[in-house]
Amino acid sequence: MSDIEHLVRAIDPAPHAPDQGPGARELRAAIMASTSGPPHRTARRRLPWRAGAIGLVAAAAATAVFLDQAATAPSPAPPAATGDTSLSGTSILLAAAAKAEAAPEGSYWHLKELNVGSSRPYGKDGDTYQLEISNLSEQWVGADGGHWIGRRQLAARPRDVAAWRRDGSPAEWEMGPDGGVYSTSPGEGTLTRLKGDQKLYWSARAMTLEQIAELPADPEALKKRAAEAIRSDEDFAGSVEHGLPHTLASLLYALPASPQVRGAAYEALATLPTVRVEGRTTDPRGREGVAVTFPIQEGRPTQGRLVIDPDTSKVLASEVTGMPQKDDRVTVVLESGWTDTEPSPPSTE
């Protein structure tokens, strides 16, 4: 070996092969529990297109039932706000802050999200269509330390049905060079229990339930803590100011913050100059709310967009728009709160 190769070897950033720690073993289990594994793929491959098309209808019906349930689930909504008041942006956020409901009780912190995105174009040259790709993702953190994740790939749907028919109405589409298929039938729901202590991420900072419970309920103090969390993310590219809206917003629905802290997060958002209240809108499920937008990265068109129900202060949806060369990412928040219901694989029924 030449001197040069010895020198390069000497600067090896990871000279020692790591052992499989608990994290590595857990990853193995989580991957094998994931929906996109080979057994499903082979099974779906054998489906004639007709069966797939029936699956498409069945899945649509199941999704409708599922969304119906989500819509009619008992909600602790206080009486609706009076009339169509033209609140200024800041006061809408402050009104939401004031609506912080009483701390709900339960054995598990539970977050259930529906992620919706788009595939690359399929079809023939000049006659292409994209698929709507969606999955359910759930997370439970037990007050006594357990941590579960649930996932389920939902049926893919062509966004342009006419173009899909012209393409021969396929029921499956290759994902890309790394394999896998999108299918018109939903995948199976999986539930994985993660071992070890539960950690939730606030920006790049791993937090325990206790640490989240101890966050300050004062907007300025909370902003300071958010800035610290952002600085702990070594590869966050922008300025701390640009990380603040996104980081504060995550306290509104993605983490088990107390009602007081959620209120403080709304108040803190109202003080940020880059946060804009865009007015009334509906979320992807047709639920009415108010759109709030903010830039995510300095000098980039990428924007975060929340749809908030000002009556309950709940976040209905969280979107990322304007990503270069990528379609918008939409997350519908189906459930975010404490529950006594035991973790179970996501179902579409």
Q: Under the criterion CB under 8 A, does residue 274 sit at the interface with other proteins?
A: no
Q: Among the candidate windows 59-67, 68-76, 229-237, 334-342, which touches other proteins by CB under 8 A?
A: 229-237
Q: Under the criterion CB under 8 A, does residue 43 sit at the interface with other proteins?
A: no
Least Cβ distance, residue 189 to other proteins (angstroms): 15
CA distance 13 to 342: 44
Tell the burial category of 300 from Cβ atoms under 10 Å away from its Cβ (0-12, 13-18, 19+): middle
Report which DSSP code applies to 293: E
How many chain residues interact with other proteins (CB under 8 A)?
A: 56
Least Cβ distance, residue 87 to other proteins (angstroms): 28
Query: For residue 29, what are its two tokens?
Result: 């289990």
Least Cβ distance, residue 103 to other proteins (angstroms): 26
Least Cβ distance, residue 155 to other proteins (angstroms): 18
Among 59, 141, 290, 296, binds other proteins (CB under 8 A): 296
Q: Residues 215-221: contacts with CB within 8 Å, 24+ apart?
A: 215/251, 215/257, 215/258, 215/261, 216/261, 216/264, 217/258, 217/260, 217/261, 217/263, 217/264, 218/264, 219/264, 219/265, 219/267, 219/268, 219/271, 220/268
Residues from 172 through 201 that contact other proteins (CB under 8 A): 177-180, 194-196, 199, 201
Please name which of 118, 177, 134, 157 lies closest in space to residue 35, comparing C-alpha atoms.
Answer: 134
Among 139, 190, 303, 312, binds other proteins (CB under 8 A): 139
Q: Among the candidate windows 69-77, 160-168, 182-190, 295-303, which touches other proteins by CB under 8 A?
A: 295-303
Q: Under the criterion CB under 8 A, does residue 324 sit at the interface with other proteins?
A: no
How many Å separate Cα 323 from the centre of its chain?
Answer: 16
CA distance 162 to 236: 43
Q: For the chain, what's the residue count?
A: 349
CA distance 174 to 160: 18
Among 17, 105, 210, 286, binds other proteins (CB under 8 A): 17
Among 41, 159, 231, 276, binds other proteins (CB under 8 A): 41
Q: Which is nearer to other proteins, 210 or 235 (CB)?
A: 235
CA distance 229 to 279: 30
Residue ranges binding other proteins (CB under 8 A): 2, 4-5, 7-14, 16-24, 26-28, 30-32, 34, 36-39, 41, 137, 139, 149, 177-180, 194-196, 199, 201, 204, 206, 234-235, 237, 246, 296-297, 302, 304, 320, 329
